[in-house]
Amino acid sequence: MSKIEVYQEELDGIVRTGVRVHDRHATLKDLLEAWQPLCDDTALYKYYGHNHGSICKGCTTNCCDTAYVIPDLIAFKHMKAYLGISYADFIRDYFQVEKVKRGLLRMLPEPCIFLQERICTIYPLRSLICRFYLCTSLIGDTEQLIYDITWTGITATRIFAEQHNLIDSPLSGGYTSFDLMFTNLIEEYRHHPQVQYFMQADNYADIPLAPFIKAED
């Protein structure tokens, strides 16, 4: 039996996708490897895909156009290393200035700065918020699991930026409803002990799933 099982079941007349973790030693890398085929599954119903069955990579709807992407800490570090620039230059050149002033490290959007000719140019390095997004229905426990993992990683990015003096104290006022929601989420997750796994990790294989699953129960 594999460490992670992907399954589907019908709930309230809707086919929903979920995952089961069968190995207590499973890592975030294992989950991402099990999740990736869903992005490429043309049989999986996708609300916004062409004929509701296209693969995500190269999808003409392209959620990347307007997505509010704040990278998790592992993606943040890997993108910076790939570009070969300093963290300060990375933030200056690849993030929205007005959002950074409010403590939110949002990638430049409309379209995403890494989207070229409708294709993600850093696909192997993309953020968790991008890796996990599927325009399909998910089972509640699975949706909560990936939500917790993603926001823990995003919160770790904010803490890392604070610790390394990469962002100033956020300005007051001028927040959109999304800004406020994301700011509040970061403050909520800041106190979760799982943040330390992201702070200490070099790769997704360094992050165990067990603490996140336990936190759900």
Measure the CA–CA gap between 206 and 119, rounded to whole angstroms: 28
Nearest to 103 by CA among 169, 150, 54: 169
> Coil, helix or strand for 109?
coil
Phi-psi domain of 57 (left: phi exceeds 0; alpha: psi -120 through 50; beta: other): beta
Chain centroid offset of residue 53 CA: 22
Domain ranges of the chain: 4-216
Distances from the Cα of 162 to the Cα of 2, 102, 111, 190, angstroms: 39, 12, 27, 12
178, amino acid identity:
F
Helices 177-189 & 140-163, crossing angle to 10 degrees? 90
Q: pLDDT tens digits for the chain (217 residues)?
A: 689 999 999 888 888 999 999 999 999 999 999 999 988 887 777 766 677 667 776 666 667 777 899 999 999 999 999 999 999 999 999 999 999 999 999 999 988 999 888 788 999 999 999 999 887 889 999 999 999 999 999 999 999 999 999 998 888 888 999 999 999 999 999 999 999 999 999 999 999 999 999 644 3
Task: Quote the pLDDT of residue 1.
Answer: 67
Q: Alpha helices of 133-194 — where are they, by DSSP H?
A: 140-163, 177-189
- CA dihedral over 28, 122, 97, 176, signed as positive or negative: negative
Measure the CA–CA gap between 101 and 60, rounded to whole angstroms: 32
Task: Quote the pLDDT of residue 63.
Answer: 75
Task: Quote the pLDDT of residue 146.
Answer: 96
